[in-house]
Structure 1
């Protein structure tokens, strides 16, 4: 990255830094406050950066004595595009500013929501979960004074060079992600100052590259005098990558060391995607400011619409998939797609233009997935011959030279990396080949580091490229970014987790993902009341950042702080492990009862976190510890799919028995089919657990002489409830459970209430289905570990 480009990006990232100074009570315009702060207190001397801060508003820029090709003109237009997209006028029409206003939640207007929720200035995302609340905590002058001091302290370790640009982004995220960009009364305050600065820098670098290729030298003419015309030009590209084959790559493994292997393989793909993103950005001389979203093997980037960009991404895609073929045969494939767009389109002008960009990109990726390889590659694959001394890896099934354990070198390295995911703070990318390092695209490899070994590598390794920090904000030379990683675990093996279960010795496998997330990204901010007013790229980026924070980082906090319990017992931590959590989906394993309770915790916390604007559909399967993980992963994925089949989704599938039922959708009046064991979350919690499970547990816990045999007989008859003779047997069995004449009055009353409810429930198909799940659940809770099914 050239010195010019660095100054341009830094100028975009710092152009509104004066808002922090202004909100301390400084009476000057924030452009002047920011200029003086950077020049006098920070000691920044780069003129192009200072001019971008001082003259990024039209009034000052028009009277500025600067060159016609000053970067201030680029920052001005980029700020204009970003700000006009971010800060649409709200209905109040009030004028003026409130300096103390708190950051509002982006979920306030998602999917038709109309709430007024705020974030607290005291929340620390590294340590606690940041929830929006109804109480608006004023951000006073002392708060902004503390922000200023933290920024000054962080800037001391920064050099205004290419190697530190991404660290500057980390500093701004750590300090400004809860600071509102706008405090105007007639504007929403749901865009943070960090997100606005980031988008401005991304747009700036794209505009610069576009103008450079067009050989336009007068930025003043193109961007200031004729800025409205420029915003009609397709100067930008929305670019996306998607990795295919993730499921098979992660889950096609044998049972030995399965838990560690799963965790390591999912992390390997996650960091591989980060490396792919950074490599492309480096080739294009861009920063991570241009990254809009990354998660779940998918990403979006904002690039310049130039011939150089297209040539670079085509070459990048070709090299990448050639490496994938060489390393993993056809197991993994990366599809890339892009669509040219204008500044106006990014602001959804005309209406629908924004959604059309994403649709076009998605269609291009789908097209490439359906025709992965060209004729030359197919001929090469068909003519491939393996050497006599190669065998099939028992983990990934790849034909290669194997270790003494019967696995290929890549699988051996992945397994070796598993412990580092839990206990190592840094991961470096280097071109120097090392025995224990994992191969990555573009002739580099991945190595785990502690702080000391990373410092040594930075100074002594000629192949050092960059490093990633884990679960903490780090900054420094060539530190690309921190990676939030769900790495919680209380067991190294499935056997250990199963042994920690209460009742039957089983592991639970939980898979879940967000319902209708793609729609939320593209059109979630549309509404009947506001139309497309709040459909913006920044809000999409903010939404994706919040979801990544929840699934990659907050998931660890949820596991460490159990809340829900089937039996009201207080637990210190969950007996579970994160296999994968990122983007919008989850794969967790653990003691089966903890997994069920954890599913409730996650659902409740996610509902609170998103203000109920998004929901989760979940599938939970129970398995013996040595059951093939690739089979259980596939089966649980089908359970998750079953949850998405009911109207409104937002459901859980648990303990199904394979039967299909028809139910009536009360809203539409249509009949739909639902798998046995599938319930909306509300029905599962209120009717299956609170109503039926609690009734069963309360009765049998206080009736010691009515043991498991009675319970199992009840379950068998409930399963065959459609047969009238079995209904009679059910009533007879209930009668046999009646206390004797000498029983206490309270015991008799409890029995009467229990038998009344049971008889009532078995006559209704819906209640009977719920009763079956509740009895099954209680039977698993009280079953001794040595019992067989």
Structure 2
């Protein structure tokens, strides 16, 4: 093992002992006085040793080394450096040696301090607090505006599972917590010890540790270390994402998982920066830019995804959207591997964008890798998809409270400069790269329209790319595992993989992904240390393998074959709709997400100008992104199980694309919105807007996606009083979620009246009202026209017509009276639309439900 490896592993595991200390496991060194003297700080005044969690860290590291013998620190060149191994580095971080040759101990301590600097100032302590503190919901803390939000929502102390009980925050009182106050401030603490919860999840981690992969004797240790780290990150994310890193703070909103991996990312780049300069000191220099925050973003992906005809559209669409996810992760991994970094360098990756933390001297090399990727993308996608990289200098001071927010802004501004000049490097190297190409002899691809002579169009007039993506979309529905194969492993797997559902080389990378229904089977002598197996959604834990591949989980908004609509094509969704024969397309995403990342984390102490300081640290930004992705890519899958005629095309990051029978989608949208609000700790800063478009089953999907996007934009521009967005546009009507239940009730009233009277006269009457109101809006385009609407002649005509209907249909007289009262009463509620602004919705809704398919 190299010093690089010892440093990273020491950083990654330095605080793992906190977890086991709280669980009262791995305790065999706590009473060892020699170990205490070696690894724990001593309070000189009171004579006791503190930070005993490092003794649990030592026990865990030794357990890990026993499980993976290749990790055992046996390489000791001199007596002076014999203790400079990852086990001791992780354990020594509170009492680093003053010896010059022990500089790695100081490096781990510095990385820990930099990672811990993101914590807010404000301590709180009482006896046993480390077993009474839950992780505060960061989504619950988000605030937009000057008023600080008083958050009292906390995450369950549990491993991540796709159930509301495991991942939804709970109100403090409901979770058995009480507010405590002392001279330091206020905190929420559990009334009883959390020891049982800690023991359950800690034992789960230890059980999974027994199933870590094993390796062949001749495998390079560098590959072993990175493979083990990938599996460890999987375990740490599952078991420590909802465990607080620090318990003696007023706002414990940073998880132990994030603290460990960010410490490793900081420590690795810190080590490599000083190694490049041949320095073994100066780790506390906080003014020199030693890191680069890197933002990678793929532009053109919307156009690429929807560039498809209706032929095989369902499969092709989900194949294209999933390909973009794979491309984003593969390119991020390609950069990390080529730079020789550990997987901890990736801060997060989601929604076609990724963030990395790398040493500053590798900036040019990272850009060179991106240029190479873009050269391949240009050839493969004819300039439609472009990878942009943005960079921001990071120095030690930027990790402290309130400073990282500016760096997030800088890296995205730098990214925008590249996006304005796509393929600049490729054009400068080859001016002919955009020259006109010869047309393919078979004409244009029937699916995407590509017609150049490099398109590889077959006799059925489909290009190779469209064929491949459609096959991938079809295979994805039956896929339970993704097997990522890198480098030299590709040749081995190509000859030994049995019956994959599909395989895909990722352009621009040295990677191929296999889609599998079952775990792969190889002989025990096969070395696959550079490969990685992902379980889709339903992860039960690690399974041992002798080939050395790492394991993880990927949350995917997956097509559900077991449902009624499992085999549907687009026209089938329309055919199985109630009423009018139409397919619906639902697009939703989080409102004001950019604002949330830019200003929503401004809940630190006020600066000299009186403004709240930004707390947008690496951990917090990654946590918000990861939790949003967990809801949309993971839990949404369970929400959709209750809707048999709806299917996810894409869900991840912060948005969703769902197709289904039109009549089911409004209920889908409402359910998603309600669950999302609960997931976000009922924080009103988080809202969700969506749009539903209705099209025929053979309507071009690209245009249908545009229509749904236009409907979504209509919802996002809805203003009522001081409230905006947080709405749904359906049947060309934007309605705030606060009025949606009223619209459903009115729709059901109309349907009930029609059923009881065996007449659609009521719908005809209300359609006339809608037309009259629209005429007023078209005529009076400015000023307050509410009074004109409510006192126009439609009012008297409606009253007259309803009275006639009451006489003719006395069985619905009460309903008609209530309906009349609702429509002619001018209620002006703050931040709520008058009924006349959305009356068209329930009227058309009821009409479409009643329309027979023969009269579409």
Contact 1:515 1:649 in 2 (8 A): no
Question: What is the aligned counterpart of 1:484 among 555, 558, 564?
Answer: 555
What displacement does 1:449 show? 3.9
Question: What is the aligned counterpart of 1:153 among 207, 217, 229?
Answer: 207
SS of 2:595's equivalent in the other structure is: helix
Aligned to 2:157: 121
Aligned to 2:101: 68
| 2:602 is equivalent to residue 517 of structure 1 | no
Aligned to 1:752: 817
Question: What is the aligned counterpart of 2:725 among 650, 653, 676?
Answer: 650
Residue by residue over 1:610-640, the C-alpha shift from the partner in whole angstroms, topping out at 9 and shown as x without a partner, is 1223111211111111111111111111121
Aligned to 1:101: 133
Contact 2:111 2:266 in 1 (8 A): yes
What displacement does 1:108 show? 3.1
Question: What is the aligned counterpart of 2:677 among 607, 613, 621?
Answer: 607
What displacement does 1:465 show? 4.8
Question: What is the aligned counterpart of 2:652 among 563, 582, 586?
Answer: 582
Aligned to 1:738: 806
Question: What is the aligned counterpart of 2:438 among 367, 377, 386?
Answer: 386
TM-score, with length taken from structure 2 = 0.79
TM-score, with length taken from structure 1 = 0.86
SS of 1:169's equivalent in the other structure is: helix
What displacement does 1:316 show? 0.8
Matches within 5 A, 1:340-739: 340-348=393-401, 351=402, 353-374=403-424, 375-376=427-428, 379-386=431-438, 389=441, 391-398=443-450, 399=452, 400-430=455-485, 431-432=490-491, 437-442=503-508, 444=510, 446-450=512-516, 454-456=520-522, 465-473=531-539, 475=542, 477-479=548-550, 481-489=552-560, 490=563, 491=565, 492-527=568-603, 531-532=612-613, 534-560=615-641, 562=642, 573-611=643-681, 612=683, 613-647=685-719, 648-657=723-732, 677-685=733-741, 687-690=742-745, 692-701=746-755, 703-705=756-758, 707-721=759-773, 722=775, 727-739=795-807
Contact 2:477 2:558 in 1 (8 A): yes
Once residues 626 and 141 of structure 2 are traced to their aligned partners in structure 1, the CA distance between those partners, rounded to angstroms, is 16
What displacement does 1:609 show? 0.6
Aligned to 1:54: 91
What displacement does 1:196 show? 0.9
Question: What is the aligned counterpart of 2:198 among 137, 144, 150?
Answer: 144
Once residues 91 and 406 of structure 2 are traced to their aligned partners in structure 1, the CA distance between those partners, rounded to angstroms, is 36
Aligned to 1:82: 115
The alignment yields a C-alpha RMSD, in angstroms, of 3.0
Aligned to 1:339: 392
Once residues 18 and 382 of structure 2 are traced to their aligned partners in structure 1, the CA distance between those partners, rounded to angstroms, is 52
What displacement does 1:728 show? 5.0
SS of 1:68's equivalent in the other structure is: helix
SS of 1:85's equivalent in the other structure is: coil
Contact 1:239 1:303 in 2 (8 A): yes
Residue by residue over 1:256-302, the C-alpha shift from the partner in whole angstroms, topping out at 9 and shown as x without a partner, is 11111111110011011111111111112222322222221111111
Residue by residue over 1:53-104, the C-alpha shift from the partner in whole angstroms, topping out at 9 and shown as x without a partner, is 21111xx22xx476634432222111111112135326x6878733232222
What displacement does 1:479 show? 3.2
Aligned to 1:204: 267
What displacement does 1:652 show? 2.7
Contact 2:331 2:509 in 1 (8 A): no
Aligned to 1:222: 282
What displacement does 1:181 show? 1.2
| 2:357 is equivalent to residue 302 of structure 1 | yes
SS of 2:142's equivalent in the other structure is: helix
Q: 1:518 to 1:533 in 2, by over 3 A?
A: closer
Once residues 328 and 66 of structure 1 are traced to their aligned partners in structure 2, the CA distance between those partners, rounded to angstroms, is 56
Contact 2:160 2:241 in 1 (8 A): no
Residue by residue over 1:136-181, the C-alpha shift from the partner in whole angstroms, topping out at 9 and shown as x without a partner, is 3556333333333333333332566222211110011122122221
Where does the alignment leave 5 or more consecutive residues of structure 1 unmatched? 563-572, 658-676
Contact 2:747 2:843 in 1 (8 A): yes
SS of 1:654's equivalent in the other structure is: strand
What displacement does 1:681 show? 1.8
What displacement does 1:241 show? 0.8
Question: What is the aligned counterpart of 1:773 among 841, 845, 851?
Answer: 841
Once residues 105 and 653 of structure 1 are traced to their aligned partners in structure 2, the CA distance between those partners, rounded to angstroms, is 27
544-553 or 290-299: bigger deviation: 290-299
Question: What is the aligned counterpart of 1:32 among 46, 50, 55?
Answer: 55
